[in-house]
Amino acid sequence: MVHLLAVACISFSAAFGAKSHSVWTDVTAADRTLMGDYEGEWINPPAKSYQRGNPRLYAQVINIGEGKHRLNFTPDHNRRAVILNSIEATVEGDAIVAEDGDWNIRVTKSGLTGTGTTRGNPLDFSLQRVTRGSPTMGAKAPQGALTLFDGNDFSGMGTPRWPSRDVDASGRPGNGDQSGEGKQGSGPYRGW
């Protein structure tokens, strides 16, 4: 019986056990150095074109799977912008490359370059990788602001006082502490 159980466990383990699949840390050099945000512009757009009046172009290079990336092109990084084009790309050596219809793109350490056709006009573009951050990162909180977490501990959140579990026969709360007052405010559950 013990031998039969051991064989069953080994068979189950072999059938459903540990497969060798990649994890997020198994990324290529291109993933580590090329994913991120890019900004640049259209090169020599035609007169009276949208691109002439709005020459700035932005892109995000996002890993979507092993050796696969999504390139999202937008007119702006800093607000909710419509995606102008979204293209799937693959890793080829130390570069990320995409060809989708009239769009040909190459992402390398020196930037994101390519050609895209909009409204029948083939246009070149060149973008550089940028590191964006919050303009208020590290800034002191404004006077009067409630600081729940100061980067060191959670003492600003206080200790909530949960409502009593005492109930009367009808299921209504009993006479326990119902305030729930925490350090930052008053009323039920404030402070969390």
pLDDT tens readout for residues 116-162: 887 788 899 999 999 887 888 888 888 888 777 777 877 777 766 66
CATH of domain 25-130: 2.40.128
Model pLDDT, residue 38 = 95
Helices (H), the chain: 2-16, 29-34, 50-53
Contact 181, 190 (CB under 8 A): yes
Both structure tokens of 111? 């930037």
What residues of the chain score a pLDDT lower than 70?
Answer: 1-27, 159-192
Among candidate residues 95, 89, 97, the one with its CA nearest the CA of residue 114: 97
Among candidate residues 41, 109, 38, the one with its CA nearest the CA of residue 71: 38
Q: Where are the domains of the chain?
A: 25-130, 146-168+176-192
Model pLDDT, residue 21 = 52
Amino acid at 58: Y
Which helix (H) or strand (E) segment holds residue 62: the answer is strand 56-65
Model pLDDT, residue 146 = 79
